[in-house]
Amino acid sequence: MDLTRTKTVSIHRRKPRLLQMLIALALLLPAGFGIPAETTHAAGANKPFPQQVDYPGMIKPSHVTQNAMNQSVANYYDYWKSTYLKHNLASLPGGYYVKGEITGDPDGFPALGSSEGQGYGMIITALMAGHDPNAQTIYDGLFKTARAYKSSGNANLMGWVVADDIDAQGHFGSATDGDLDIAYSLILAHHQWGSDGAVNYLNEARKMITDGIKVSYVTTNNRLNLGDWDAKNALNTRPSDWMLSHFRAFYEVTGDSSWIQVIDNLYSVYDQFTSAYSSSTGLVSDFIVGNPPEPAPEYYLDEFQQTNQYYYNASRFPLRIVMDYAFYGDPRGKAVADKLTGWIKTKTNGSPANIKNGYNMNGTATGSYATAVFVAPFISAGTANSANQAWVNSGWDWIKNKKEDYFSDSYNLLNLLFISGNWWVPGGETQQPATNLALHKSAVTSSIEGSGFEADKAFDGNLLSRWASNEGTDPEWIYVDLGSVQNISGVTLKWEAAYAKQYKIQISSDSNGNPVNWIDVHTTTNGGGGEDQITFTSQNARYVRMLGTERGTPYGYSLYEFEVYGASAP
CA 468 vs CA 28, 138, 266, 276, 476: distances in Å: 62, 54, 22, 21, 10
**Ramachandran region, residue 243 (left: φ > 0; alpha: ψ -120 to 50; beta: rest):** beta
The single residue of 177, 181, 338, 531 carrying the catalytic annotation is: 177
Provide the pLDDT for residue 257: 85
The single residue of 101, 116, 241, 264 carrying the catalytic annotation is: 116
Task: Check pLDDT > 90 for residue 6.
Answer: no
Provide the pLDDT for residue 61: 97
Task: Check pLDDT > 90 for residue 39.
Answer: no
Provide the pLDDT for residue 23: 31
Task: Check pLDDT > 80 for residue 524.
Answer: yes
Per the annotation, the verdict on 429 as an active-site residue is: no
pLDDT band at 35 (very low <50, low <70, confident <90, very high): very low
Share of the chain above pLDDT 90, in %: 81
Task: Check pLDDT > 70 for residue 4.
Answer: no
pLDDT in tens, 222-248: 999 999 999 999 999 999 999 999 999
Provide the pLDDT for residue 97: 98
Task: Check pLDDT > 90 for residue 569.
Answer: no
Task: Check pLDDT > 80 for residue 43.
Answer: no
Q: Which residues contact 91 (CB under 8 A, 6 or more apart)?
A: 164, 165, 166, 168, 169
pLDDT in tens, 155-207: 999 999 999 999 999 999 999 999 999 999 999 999 999 999 999 999 999 99
Task: Check pLDDT > 50 for residue 38.
Answer: no
Residue of higher predicted confidence among 199 and 5: 199
pLDDT in tens, 402-446: 999 999 999 999 999 999 999 999 975 744 456 889 999 999 999
Provide the pLDDT for residue 434: 67
pLDDT band at 360 (very low <50, low <70, confident <90, very high): very high
Provide the pLDDT for residue 103: 66
pLDDT in tens, 471-483: 999 999 999 999 9
CB 468 within 8 A of CB 453: yes
Average pLDDT estimate for 20-24: 32
Average pLDDT estimate for 373-396: 97
Task: Check pLDDT > 50 for residue 395.
Answer: yes
Helices 317-328 & 331-347 angle (0-180, nearest 10): 140
CB 318 within 8 A of CB 377: yes
Provide the pLDDT for residue 104: 72
Average pLDDT estimate for 63-79: 97
CA 449/CA 508 separation, integer angstroms: 26
CA 416/CA 74 separation, integer angstroms: 10
Average pLDDT estimate for 254-274: 93
Question: What are the DSSP E strand ranges found in 496-567?
Answer: 500-508, 519-524, 531-551, 558-566
Average pLDDT estimate for 127-147: 98
Closest CA to 318 of 342, 337, 331, 334: 337
Task: Check pLDDT > 50 for residue 570.
Answer: no
pLDDT in tens, 202-223: 999 999 999 999 999 999 999 9
H helices of 59-101, in order, are: 66-84
Closest CA to 509 of 537, 486, 538, 476: 486
Q: Which amino acid is at 178?
A: G
Partners of residue 563 on adjacent β-strands: 492
Per the annotation, the verdict on 177 as an active-site residue is: yes
Window from 8-12, 208-212, 303-307, 326-330 with minimum mean pLDDT: 8-12
Residue of higher predicted confidence among 158 and 21: 158
Task: Check pLDDT > 70 for residue 29.
Answer: no
Provide the pLDDT for residue 567: 55
Closest CA to 484 of 536, 433, 435, 442: 442
State the chain's maximal CA–CA distance in angstroms.
Answer: 79
Provide the pLDDT for residue 13: 29
Cβ atoms < 10 Å from Cβ of 517: 10
Claim: this prediction has a pTM higher than 0.85: no
**Total residues found in the chain within this entry:** 570
Average pLDDT estimate for 492-506: 95
pLDDT band at 64 (very low <50, low <70, confident <90, very high): very high
Q: What domains sit in the chain, N to C, each tagged with a CATH number?
A: 3-10+20-419 (1.50.10.10), 443-566 (2.60.120.260)
Task: Check pLDDT > 70 for residue 354.
Answer: yes
